[in-house]
Amino acid sequence: MTEYAAFEPTKAGARQLKLLETQESKRGLFIVFEGPDGAGKSTQKKLFKKWLESEGHQVVSTKSNTSLLVKPLIRARKLAHALSPAEACLMEAAEFRHRLENEILPALWKGQIVLADRHLFTNLARNAARGLRLDWQLNAYAPLFWPDMVFYFAISAEASIDRIAATGEPTYYQAGQDVTDIDNPFTSYRQFMKRVLQEYESLALIFHFMTVDAEQSIYTQHRNLRQLFRQGMKRPWREWNADAVLEWLARKPPAGEVESE
């Protein structure tokens, strides 16, 4: 348990707190796929989803930066090259909150497994590589919501850029050109990605990621994911996510389960 993970419940009614505790045995699992561009997260998530469904689980997918409310704002600022690291962090935190409350928590409450193509960790790594302090970023995301499992796909900077180059040129912010001041996007990407990977490695230690070698074969990675899934455990909401869940219950109570105060 880290100092960032231990949160005591905020001012919430006894009924909501009891409901959270009762739901713990019924709720679904939140599993996150993290790693740099080109690590193969999307491919593995699709394979893993099919396997879970074949095992009888109900599965919902979500992806970072897909909120219809916030994504257009981020996109417009990026196209204009007018997005500072601090502004990006705040917008990303708003995007995360919108998906959390409208996609992730409702599905988990129903007992479904939620698979996320990136959570907040990619944003933390990229913005830390841009010079933002980790504690400042975490405050922007508060109240935090931690996944039950994080699969981290580890890949070298060289392998990442080779895979990205095979599909096209990295974008301005993807290449980190806003902080490297390097005109060549591939050169910038290589330098920026080395910083990002250092931050990923730190986050992996702090938050106990389950590491997968993303340079192994697709089949080997998928087999490893199955093993890690069977070994994984829930992170109790009362201990890790009470503030976020109670805030959601107060604002958007599931129909028929929580009465308004």
On the question of pLDDT at 1 being above 80, the answer is: no
Query: Average pLDDT in the 186-192 region?
Result: 94
- Higher-pLDDT residue of 252 and 64 is 64
Superfamily classification of domain 14-251: P-loop containing nucleotide triphosphate hydrolases (3.40.50.300)
Least confident of 4-13, 55-64, 86-95, 120-129: 4-13
pLDDT digits (tens, 9 = 90+) for 204-252: 998 899 999 999 999 999 999 999 999 988 999 988 999 999 889 888 7
Beta-carbon contacts of 118 under 8 Å, excluding residues fewer than 6 positions away, are 32, 33, 34, 41, 63, 64
Query: Average pLDDT in the 94-116 region?
Result: 95
Query: Average pLDDT in the 82-88 region?
Result: 93
Taking CB atoms within 8 Å and a gap of at least 24, the contacts of 50-56 are: 51/222, 51/226, 52/113, 52/115
Quick one: angle between helices 134-141 and 121-129, nearest 10? 140
Residues 247/144, Cβ–Cβ less than 8 Å = no
Residue 19 binned pLDDT confidence (cut-offs 50, 70, 90): confident
Residue 253 binned pLDDT confidence (cut-offs 50, 70, 90): low
Residues 87/77, Cβ–Cβ less than 8 Å = yes
What's the whole-model pTM score?
0.88
Residue 21 binned pLDDT confidence (cut-offs 50, 70, 90): confident
pLDDT at 260: 39
Query: Average pLDDT in the 61-75 region?
Result: 90
Query: Average pLDDT in the 133-158 region?
Result: 94
On the question of pLDDT at 46 being above 90, the answer is: yes
On the question of pLDDT at 186 being above 70, the answer is: yes
Beta-carbon contacts of 226 under 8 Å, excluding residues fewer than 6 positions away, are 48, 51
Residue 255 binned pLDDT confidence (cut-offs 50, 70, 90): low
pLDDT at 258: 44
In the chain, domain spans: 14-251
- Higher-pLDDT residue of 2 and 239 is 239
pLDDT at 7: 44
pLDDT at 4: 43
Distance CA 135, CA 130 (A): 14
Residue 12 binned pLDDT confidence (cut-offs 50, 70, 90): very low
Dihedrals phi, psi of 213, to nearest 5 degrees: -75, 105
On the question of pLDDT at 261 being above 50, the answer is: no
Dihedrals phi, psi of 69, to nearest 5 degrees: -80, -40
10 Å CB burial of residue 101 (0-12, 13-18, 19+) is middle
Residue 259 binned pLDDT confidence (cut-offs 50, 70, 90): very low
On the question of pLDDT at 5 being above 60, the answer is: no
